[in-house]
């Protein structure tokens, strides 16, 4: 079974990327330096730009998920990871034994792989991260069938090898026993030798007279003896000193003890070898899991490094677009187009990460043919492209078409990463180059950049090229927003390509390189040409430059050219599909601003630059005199144009600043208004509660005045229930009114405006401002004070609280009946219609009870001649509302039914117009 690769497999790499000219290796080294292991470092170092869309979407998505993981405070250590291929291959050999330090390094790898599995599949109470693409990368590692769990291996081997490579005593019980025996044997030998040395020293035969010297020669414990006394010490001479004055003798009484020590040492080495073989075998059994884990963690660490780079430089994820085809092809009849214009945010892995999916055509009519774009076929399903080609006319190819108004190449506030890193190193972490914005309009694929020397033309060219390489290598780019085509090659002619060995001058080298590019570039190539047509006669160079630019325009290649030549500026202004751009220049300071302005050419300002750099004024004046009138006029016009653009930009910024200030002031006033409204609402709510409490108090006093105790108790109970319902109703209506006002739901309601003073008499209906509802006048206390009733609640109001008066003519039920049909009615007692209320409250009743009461109330109101009534049934689950409204729709006395506005009850009440 082949090992998983530890390096990236780049599908469809670019035919050419001009990586060295655009300094991609330098940037790649910087990103690789953010890794912590050789695996991640090697993965980054092998990144190359590709045109494979699914692979790029996958890479950018994984980097985005790792960036979110780091932003959320997540961390993972990659220290200790390395390429374990050779060690694991050796471990799988039967009977092989790895060195202890090699086993220790593989155990470190196993710990990292096991920690990664735990992070992906944490315990129920641990933090779980949402990173579907990273989980998809690690799917095989989580599959117990594909990869074995590493916990048993770590439990078995962890802690048995010391950091210095020696086996601990806990490696096995037998090893512990042997080492305990070795310690005892050492002590016995040392004690025996000390006795012998003491005895010899007392006789003056040893080398030292002050210490019991014991040393080792050839794994045998010996004592030093002076050479002249060697025959007096019975034993075996193992060595002598370099001077010959001392010999090292093993006394006879310790020979057997040393023999036993050697035997124990042999046993120890045998046991160590046995343990290492067992450890090696255990690692060999887990070799597939360890190798798979290393391959996964190598890529994960590369994404972590890219994520840290993106955080450092505030990078963004690029969106890839499809270029509009220059040539269109007639579509065959009866075809279903599956490659129509798609959003840059497609979720289709072959399109883009967020755009809506186009329905598949698998269920279309059998007579229709399926049409797929050629680039989608090759990128998403390369294995099918040959099959489609073999199907001939049965399958037609169509080029994916973008939205006609969507720019295909757009960089907003882009920065050259190497330039920004250098500026930060020199001036501090806040330093940053002037951002660059390039947006090519639809159907525009060629950009001509002009302007002064040292103004940033070449930097603009390199920024576009390097950011394109980064995007197509799976690296986020330093910009606020980026939409880029998917290039199949990037060709750059930048810098001096002079070669003495090849006998090429600067101009010749440029011509050779441009000629090569012109022969291989195509519609999806990016061509970057710096100072096209320079280093030769200006007139001939200008003609050649225009011809080269026109050639690439005819090829429909993406092209960016820097120049000082007026002919190229005129060419860009007169050709469709070509855009002029200028790097900025400050006429006051005579220095470049490094801003890129699209749509206008730039003046070279060579004389101004020379003047700023300190050239002699006489030379500058003479040079200005040599310029033709037309050239001077063009330069002056371009200078004025850029001054006007600068002024317009400043004015636009001032207007935007004023808009921001107005927005802040509007927000402040809204906050103050809400606070004031909240305070007013609390004040009104307190007044309402006080009014209700006053009514309750009056009601209790009235009940107490009733002599009949039984009747008094009944009335007290009924009144308490009615007051509870009334308070709930008023609370709901008050809350609804406040909510409608706060959410401006009542902004279209007709405001209540007081009318001219109207005489008010008992029985009239008045509209109250404070409650937003009608009440009936019960008693006139004085000219400005009235006693009214609103449902079951009575209150005293001031004349100023009345918004409208509806006069009600008092008629008896008998008169009402005669007016409606001449019916003769006999009544036992008369009812005063002036005190007939126009509202009934049935909250808390069942459907049958409420229907009975409402029918009775309708009859009384009809006989009393009321024009309208109000039924309060509450909101609840809506059962009571639906039952009553169904009853009212079929009732003969009812003309119409309506629902009041939210500030007058809304769905909790129903207003009824009675027939007259």
| C-alpha separations of 899 from 851, 858, 902 in Å | 18, 17, 9
Distance (Å, whole) CA 297 – CA 279: 24
Phi, psi (deg, nearest 5) at residue 121: -125, 75
Q: What are the beta bridge partners of residue 485?
A: 321
Helix (H) or strand (E) holding 222: strand 220-226
Distance of CA 731 to the CA centre of its chain: 45
Strands 894-898 vs 868-872: parallel, antiparallel or unpaired? unpaired
Distance (Å, whole) CA 659 – CA 664: 9
The verdict on whether residue 451 carries a ligand-binding annotation is yes
Distance (Å, whole) CA 293 – CA 80: 13
Q: 335 and 368 in contact (C-beta within 8 Å)?
A: yes
DSSP conformation class of 476: -
Helix 847-864 with 879-889: angle, nearest 10 deg = 40
The verdict on whether residue 453 carries a ligand-binding annotation is yes
Helix 457-471 with 24-32: angle, nearest 10 deg = 50
Torsion of the alpha carbons at 717, 718, 724 and 727, rounded to the nearest 10: -130
Helix 506-520 with 538-555: angle, nearest 10 deg = 20
DSSP conformation class of 757: -
Contacts of residue 497, Cβ cutoff 8 Å, sequence gap at least 6: 504, 506, 509, 510, 512, 513
Q: 83 and 38 in contact (C-beta within 8 Å)?
A: yes
Strands 409-414 vs 785-790: parallel, antiparallel or unpaired? unpaired
| C-alpha separations of 96 from 92, 102, 275 in Å | 8, 13, 11
From 59, 524, 522, 135, select the one nearest 318 (Cα to Cα).
Answer: 59
Q: 494 and 530 in contact (C-beta within 8 Å)?
A: yes
Q: 700 and 870 in contact (C-beta within 8 Å)?
A: no
DSSP conformation class of 782: S
From 686, 793, 792, select the one nearest 734 (Cα to Cα).
Answer: 686
Distance (Å, whole) CA 326 – CA 524: 11
The verdict on whether residue 206 carries a ligand-binding annotation is no
The verdict on whether residue 456 carries a ligand-binding annotation is yes
From 293, 305, 218, select the one nearest 255 (Cα to Cα).
Answer: 218
Q: 790 and 725 in contact (C-beta within 8 Å)?
A: no
The verdict on whether residue 173 carries a ligand-binding annotation is no
Helix (H) or strand (E) holding 896: strand 894-898
Contacts of residue 245, Cβ cutoff 8 Å, sequence gap at least 6: 207, 226, 227
Contacts of residue 528, Cβ cutoff 8 Å, sequence gap at least 6: 18, 22, 461, 462, 464, 465, 490, 491, 492, 493, 494, 559, 560
The verdict on whether residue 452 carries a ligand-binding annotation is yes
Which parts are annotated binding residues for ATP? 451-458
Which parts are annotated binding residues? 451-458
């Amino acid at each position: 079974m082949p090992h998983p690769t530890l390096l990236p497999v780049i599908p469809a790499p670019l035919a050419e990327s001009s990586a060295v000219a655009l300094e991609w290796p330098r940037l790649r080294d910087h990103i690789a330096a953010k890794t912590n292991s050789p695996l991640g470092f090697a993965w980054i170092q092998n990144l190359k730009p590709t045109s494979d869309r699914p692979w790029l979407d996958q890479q950018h998505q994984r980097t985005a998920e790792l960036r979110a993981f780091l932003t959320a405070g997540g961390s993972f250590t990659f220290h200790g990871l390395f390429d374990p291929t050779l060690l694991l291959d050796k471990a799988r050999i039967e009977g092989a034994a790895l060195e202890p330090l090699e086993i220790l390094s593989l155990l470190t790898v196993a710990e990292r792989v096991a920690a990664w599995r735990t992070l992906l599949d944490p315990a129920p109470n641990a933090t779980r991260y949402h990173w579907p693409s990273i989980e998809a990368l690690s799917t095989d590692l989580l599959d117990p069938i594909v990869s074995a769990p590493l916990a048993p291996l770590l439990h078995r081997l962890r802690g048995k090898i010391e950091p210095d490579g020696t086996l601990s005593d806990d490696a096995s019980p037998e090893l512990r026993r042997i080492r305990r025996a070795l310690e005892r044997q050492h002590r016995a030998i040392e004690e025996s030798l000390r006795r012998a040395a003491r005895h010899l020293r007392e006789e003056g035969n040893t080398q030292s007279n002050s210490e019991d010297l014991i040393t080792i020669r050839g794994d045998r414990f010996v004592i030093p003896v002076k050479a002249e006394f060697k025959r007096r010490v019975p034993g075996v001479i193992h060595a002598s000193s370099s001077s010959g004055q001392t010999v090292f003798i093993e006394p006879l009484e310790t020979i057997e003890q040393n023999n036993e020590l050697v035997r124990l040492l042999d046993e120890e080495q045998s046991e160590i070898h046995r343990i290492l073989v067992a450890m090696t075998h255990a690692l060999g059994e887990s070799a597939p899991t360890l190798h798979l884990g290393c391959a996964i963690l190598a890529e994960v660490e590369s994404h972590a490094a890219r994520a840290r780079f993106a955080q450092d430089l505030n990078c963004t994820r690029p969106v890839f677009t499809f270029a509009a085809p220059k040539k269109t092809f007639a579509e065959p009849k009866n075809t279903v187009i599956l490659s129509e214009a798609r959003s840059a945010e497609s979720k289709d892995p072959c399109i883009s990460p967020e755009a809506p999916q186009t329905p598949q055509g698998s269920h279309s009519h059998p007579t229709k043919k399926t049409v797929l774009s050629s680039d989608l076929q090759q990128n998403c399903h390369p294995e099918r492209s040959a099959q489609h080609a073999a199907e001939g006319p049965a399958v037609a190819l169509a080029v994916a078409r973008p939205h006609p108004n969507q720019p295909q190449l757009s960089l907003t506030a882009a920065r050259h990463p190497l330039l920004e890193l250098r500026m930060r190193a020199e001036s501090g972490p806040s330093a940053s180059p002037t951002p660059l914005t390039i947006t090519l309009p639809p159907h525009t694929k060629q950009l001509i950049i002009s302007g002064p020397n040292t103004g940033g033309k070449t930097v603009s060219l390199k920024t576009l090229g390097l950011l394109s390489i980064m995007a197509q290598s799976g690296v986020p780019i330093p910009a606020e927003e980026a939409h880029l085509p998917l290039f199949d090659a990037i060709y750059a002619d930048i810098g001096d390509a002079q070669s003495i060995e090849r006998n090429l001058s600067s101009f010749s080298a440029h011509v050779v390189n441009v000629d090569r590019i012109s022969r291989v570039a195509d519609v999806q190539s990016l061509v970057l040409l710096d100072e096209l047509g320079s280093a030769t006669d200006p007139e001939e160079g200008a003609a050649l430059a225009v011809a080269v630019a026109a050639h690439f325009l005819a090829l429909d290649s993406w092209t960016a050219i820097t120049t000082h030549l007026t002919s190229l500026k005129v060419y860009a202004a007169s050709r469709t599909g070509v855009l002029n751009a200028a790097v900025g220049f400050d006429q006051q300071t005579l220095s470049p601003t490094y801003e890129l302005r699209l749509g206008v050419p730039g003046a070279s300002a060579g004389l101004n630059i020379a003047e700023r750099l300190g050239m002699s004024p006489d030379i500058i004046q003479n040079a200005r005199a040599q310029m033709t009138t037309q050239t001077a006029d063009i330069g002056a016009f371009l200078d004025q144009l850029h001054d006007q653009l600068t002024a317009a930009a400043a004015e636009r910024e001032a207007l935007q600043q004023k808009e921001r200030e107005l927005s802040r002031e509007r927000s402040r006033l809204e906050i103050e208004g809400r606070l004031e409204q909240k305070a007013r609402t609390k004040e009104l709510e307190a007044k309402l509660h006080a009014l209700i409490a006053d009514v309750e108090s009056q009601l209790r006093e009235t009940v107490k005045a009733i002599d009949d105790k039984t009747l008094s108790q009944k009335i007290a109970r009924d009144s308490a229930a009615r007051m509870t319902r009334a308070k709930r109703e008023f609370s709901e209506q008050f809350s609804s009114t406040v909510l409608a006002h706060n959410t401006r739901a009542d902004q279209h309601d007709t405001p209540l405006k007081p009318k001219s003073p109207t005489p008010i008499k008992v029985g009239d209906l008045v509209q109250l401002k404070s409650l937003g509802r009608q009440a009936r006048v019960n008693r006139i206390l004085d000219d400005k004070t009235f006693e009214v009733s609103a449902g079951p609640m009575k209150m005293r109001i001031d004349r100023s609280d009345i918004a409208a008066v509806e006069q009600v003519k008092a008629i008896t039920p008998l008169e009402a009946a005669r007016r409606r049909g001449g019916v003769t009615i006999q009544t036992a007692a008369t009812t005063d219609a002036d005190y007939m209320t126009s509202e009934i409250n049935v909250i808390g009743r069942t459907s049958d009870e409420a229907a009975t009461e409402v029918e009775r109330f309708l009859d009384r109101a009809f006989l009393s001649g009321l024009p309208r009534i109000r039924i309060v049934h509450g909101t609840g689950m809506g059962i009571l509302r639906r039952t009553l409204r169904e009853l009212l729709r079929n009732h003969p006395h009812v003309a119409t039914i309506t629902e009041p506005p939210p500030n007058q009850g809304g769905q909790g009440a129903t207003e009824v117009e009675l027939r007259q």
